[in-house]
Amino acid sequence: MARSYVHEARRRVAPKRERIRPIIERLAVAHPDATIALRFRDPLELLVSVMLSAQTTDVTVNRVTGRLFRKYRGPEDYLAVPLVELEGDIRATGTFRQKARNLRGAMKMLLEEYDEKVPWRLEELVRLPGVGRKTANVVAAELGATQGIVVDTHVRRLSQRLGLTRQEDPAKIERDLMRVVPRADWARFPHLLIWHGRRVCDARSPRCEVCVLAGLCPSSRV
């Protein structure tokens, strides 16, 4: 998409701070079921599910964890089996060797430093092996302790198309979004963009003709 056309299109819509509230409201009406797709029953299962979700689908993770969480109920269970056994149990999620090592490292830290409890502060979560800023943001938000905005591929793409950021780096995109999205909406905003990205604003063929954001999105006018 030529930059000159994008620049011209951005001039035809209101500033992002004026558009953000109607963007959120329209997406909330269009996607009332926009919540995390991973299935879990407690903070530990949430942490494991999000760690396993890297580079695979939520459907695959839910299929794997359906069996996994019957076998592994506490941090000590992940350390009680041989590494190769844990690898086999999560093989379907891809990059299973690295994920298995990260899971064991995280469980060891939970046992030794956090009294078997999953921490909720971002600076503590990112200390766990295999937990980056995105994973930490997801876990914190689902624990009711939102401290940032999750930036995945859908959030990145839609934020750029909506003219909410021009950045490419996820950390910089998050900072841009935190400046404009009301803090009360930090947790649900990524879910709204993710579901809209899956259902309407496809990466290759966005369906602008049926998009509820058409009048608010500069990219729809290019």
Residues with a catalytic annotation lie at 134, 152
Q: Are 119 and 157 in contact (CB under 8 A)?
A: no
127-139 as b/e: b if 16+ CB within 10 A = ebebbebbbbbbb
CB-count burial class (<10 Å; 0-12, 13-18, 19+) for 205 = exposed
Backbone angles phi, psi at 130, to 5 degrees: 85, 5
Cα dihedral sign, 201-206-212-216: positive
